[in-house]
Structure 1
Amino acid sequence: MSRLLLVHAHPDDETLTCGVTMAHHVARGDEVHVLTCTLGEEGEVVPRHLAHLQGAPGDPLGPYRRGELARALAVLGVTSHVLGEDDRGATSRWRDSGMAGTSAADHPQAFAAAPLREAATAVARVVARLRPDVLVTYDAGGGYGHPDHVRTHEATRTAVLGLPARDRPSRVFEIRTPRSWAQEDRAWLRERVHPGRHGEPPGRTLQLLDDAAPYPVGVVDDAMVTHEVVDPTAVARQAAALREHVTQLTVLQTLPGDGPVVPFYALSNDVAARLPGREGFARVDPATWAPWPLDPARSEGHRWGRLTG
C-alpha cells in the first residue's frame, strides 16, 4: 500500500482535476489524502437557493464549502486536511484570493499574498507528518492561472525542496493535460451535448467551446506528460463526489440515443466539460523539481500508468 497526498487550492479542485486518480488508487488499496489551502470563499454560487452565501458578511460560503469538501472526499474514500485548520475552531489559515484582478486579493488573509516562507512551512508540516510516498500538485501556472493555484504550486514546491531528504516524497507530480486529450474532449462535447436538453438549472444555458478557444496553461504538448491514470470505471465515483460540490457546479448527463448515458458537468460559467476517465501528470525530481528524466526504454508516445509505480 502506498500513501498519496494531493495539494489543492480550493474545495472541488481536487475532484475536478484528480477525481479519477483518487478513486482509482483508493480502489487499489492505497491511502489517499487531500490538503486544501483555502475554503474557496470567493466561489461563484450556482444554485439560486444558496445565492445568499456568495459575498455575504462573515464569509459563510467558506464553512459551507468545507462541508461540501468533507462529503465529496468521503464519497471517494479520501482523508481531508485544510491548511491551518485546528481543533481550536480555526477553519483555515488563509482565504480565497479570488480570480486575478479582483479586490479579494487585497484581503489581509488572501492566500496568493501570503509570505511564501510561511505558506511553505505550513505545507511542509503536513508533508512531514503524513510522509507520503507520492505528492501531487499543480504546475507553475496553476493549471489555469488562478492566483491561489499558482501560490499552491509555489508553497508546495518550496516545502518539498526544503525538507530533509528522508522526509521528501519519493515521487512528485504536476497535473498536466495532453493537448490531444483536450482536443478530443471538445470534439466529444460538441457531439454529445445539446444545450437546453439536459435539465440544466433554471436560467442556465450550456456553452460549448470550439477549437479556436484558447486552452488553459495546464494543457501541454503530449510529450510533456509522463504519467496517466486511465480508469473509466472511476467516473461514476468522481461524478458522485462532484455532486457534493453543489454550490460550484452542476453534474448533468448525456441523452439516451447518443450512445451510453454518461455524466458531464458545468461550472458557474456554464461551459460544458467532459469527465473522460483519464488524468495526466508530469513527474518531477523531488530534490530539484526538475523534470524527471524519461526512461530511454519507454516506447514513443507511451506514458506510465498509476502514480505509485
Structure 2
Amino acid sequence: MSQNDGLRLMAVHAHADDETITMGGVLALCADRGIRTCNICCTDGKLATIVDPDMPEETTRPRLAEIREQELLAACRILGVDEVHFLRYGDSGMPGAETNDLPDAFWKASLDEAAGRIVEHIRRFKPHVVVTYDSNGAYGHPDHIQAHRATLLAVEAAHTAVYPDRGAPWRVEKLYYTAFPVSQAKRAIEMAKNANMPPPFGAEDTSDLPFLTPDDWVTTTVDCSSVIMRKRDALRAHRSQIPPDWPMLSIPEG
C-alpha cells in the first residue's frame, strides 16, 4: 500500500480549463501517487471566446457550455481526476463587462447558496486539502473571486453545525491558493527568448503581468516535471479555449 492511500484533494475552479492551467500537474501527480482528487467547476463558461477555427461562432456558441463540460471531462481523464462535478452557475464574463450583472451570473449568485453547495461536496468527498484561487481570483476575474469567496466560506463552515442538511461535518486540514510565481514567469520569458519565440503572454517584463504572485508569498511548491506532458495533453483537450501556440504548449521544456 502507498503511504498516500486514503488521502484526498479537492479543487474548486470557476471555469473548465482553469483546473488544468493552474494545477494540472498537481492533479496528475496526485493520481500517480494514489491521492484521490475531485474537481468542482462552478460556471458553465458559455461567454468565453472561442479560439478553435474549426468551431464557428454561430453553431458553437449555443452549445459552448456543453462543449466545455465535455472538454473538462476529457482533460480530467488525462490527468487522472477521480471525480468531476458541475455547479452550472452562469458565466459572468470578464471584469467590468455588462454580463457581470446577468441574473444567472455566478458573480451575482448568493454566496450562502454557493458555499452550501460546496460544503455538501466537502462533507461527501472528505478532502484533506482544498485548492482554489487567491482573494483577487489571480487577475481579478469576477468568477474566480466568487469561487475564492464561496470556497473559503465552505471550508470554514464544513466542520461546524452550519448547513445541517448538507451532510456530517468534516474539517479540511489545509487550504491552498494557486499561484504563478514571478520567478517562474521570468524563467518562461527567458526560455522563449532563447528559443527565438515571442514572449509568453505578450510581455517581456513581469511587471506587466498582473496575475503573478511575489515569490515571498509562496508557501508551497510542487515539482510536476514528471507529468508535464500529461498536463500539456490535458490543455489540448480544451480546444475551444486554448490554441496550439498558447505559451504553456509552445514554450520548450528546459
TM-score band w.r.t. shorter chain: 0.7 to 0.9
Match of 2:138, SS? coil
* Alpha-carbon distance, 1:54 to partner: 7.8
Give yes or no for the alignment of 1:220 onto 2:213: yes
Determine whether 1:185 maps to 2:196.
no
Kept after mapping to 1: 8 A contact 2:91/2:143:
yes
| CA distance in structure 2 between the partners assigned to 1:208 and 1:98 by the alignment | 22
Shift of 1:101: 1.7
Q: Report the 3-state secondary structure (helix = DSSP H, G, I; strand = E; otherwise coil) of the residue aligned with 2:202.
A: coil
1:275 deviates by: 8.2
What secondary structure sits across from 2:248 in the alignment? strand
CA offsets 1:201-223 (integer angstroms, 9 cap, x no match):
xxxxx863111652234x22212
Deviation readout 1:93-128 (Å, 9 max, x if unpaired):
x11100012222122110011111111111111111
Distance 1:39 1:156, change over 3 A: same
1:176 aligned to 152, 176, 179, which one?
179
Q: Is the partner of 1:48 in helix, strand or coil? A: coil
- Give deviations 1:3-37, integer Å, cap 9, x for gaps: 11010000000001101111111111111111100
CA shift digits 1:242-289 (9 cap, x unpaired): 111000012349xxxxxxxxx833xxxxxx7x5879xxxxxxxxxxxx
**Structure 2 residue 14 is the aligned partner of structure 1 residue 9:** yes
Match of 1:155 among 138, 150, 156: 150
Q: Is the 8 A contact 2:11 2:130 kept in 1?
A: yes
Name the residue aligned to 2:54: 49
AA aligned to 1:192 is A
- Cα distance per residue 1:22-79 (max 9 Å; x no partner): 11111111111111001211111111221326884xx410001000001110111103
Query: Post-superposition shift, 1:167?
Result: 0.6
State the distance in 1 between where 2:14 and 2:144 align: 5
- Between the aligned partners of 1:42 and 1:28, the Cα distance in structure 2 is 36
**Aligned ranges for residues 1-309 of structure 1 at < 5 Å?**
1=5, 2-52=7-57, 56=61, 59-84=62-87, 92=88, 94-164=89-159, 167-194=170-197, 208-211=202-205, 214-217=208-211, 219-252=212-245, 264-265=248-249, 274=251
Return the letter of the residue paired with 1:109: D
In structure 2, relative to structure 1, the CA distance for the partners of 1:14 and 1:207 (3 Å cut) is closer
How many residue pairs get matched?
240
- Moved segments of 4+, more than 4 Å: 274-277
Q: Which has the higher helix share?
A: 2
- Cα deviation for residue 174 of structure 1 reads 0.9
Q: Deviations over 1:144-182 (max 9, x none)?
A: 111000000000001111122651211211112222122
Residues 164 and 115 (structure 1 numbering): CA distance in 2 closer, same or farther, change over 3 Å? same
Deviates more, 1:140-149 or 1:208-217: 208-217
Pair 162,143 (structure 1): closer, same or farther in 2 beyond 3 Å: same
Unaligned stretches of 5+ in structure 1?
A: 85-91, 196-205, 254-262, 266-271, 278-309
| Alignment partners' CA distance in 1, 2:196 and 2:59 | 29
TM-score by length of 1: 0.72
Identity value in percent: 33
Alpha-carbon distance between aligned partners in 1 of 2:147 and 2:58, rounded to the nearest angstrom: 25
Structure 1's 82 and 68: CA in aligned 2 closer, same or farther, altered over 3 A? same
Where 2:65 maps in the other structure, the secondary structure is helix
Long gaps (5+) in structure 2: 161-168
Q: Secondary structure at the match of 1:82?
A: strand
Q: Is the 8 A contact 2:73 2:84 kept in 1?
A: no
Name the counterpart of 2:164: none
SS of 1:5's equivalent in the other structure is strand
Code of the residue aligned with 2:235 in structure 1: it is: L
Instruction: Give the structure with the higher percent strand.
Output: 1
Question: What is the CA distance between 1:136 and its match in structure 2?
Answer: 0.4
